[in-house]
Amino acid sequence: MLSERDRRVLDFEGSWWHYPGPKDRAITEYLEMSATRYYQALRRLMDSEEAARYAPLTVHRLRKMRRDRRAQIAERVQKGDSLG
pLDDT tens-digit map of 27-52? 999 999 999 999 999 999 999 999 99
- pLDDT for position 82: 59
pTM, full prediction: 0.82
Digit-coded pLDDT (tens) for 2-26:
999 999 999 999 998 888 889 999 9
- Which residues, other chains included, contact 16 with Cβ-Cβ below 8 Å and sequence gap of 6+? 23, 26, 27
Residues spanned by the domain of 35: 4-83
User: How many distinct structural domains can be found in the chain?
Assistant: 1
Is the pLDDT score of 83 beyond 60?
no
3-state helix, strand, coil in the chain (%, to 5): 80, 0, 20
- The H or E element containing residue 36 is helix 35-46
pLDDT for residue 19: 84
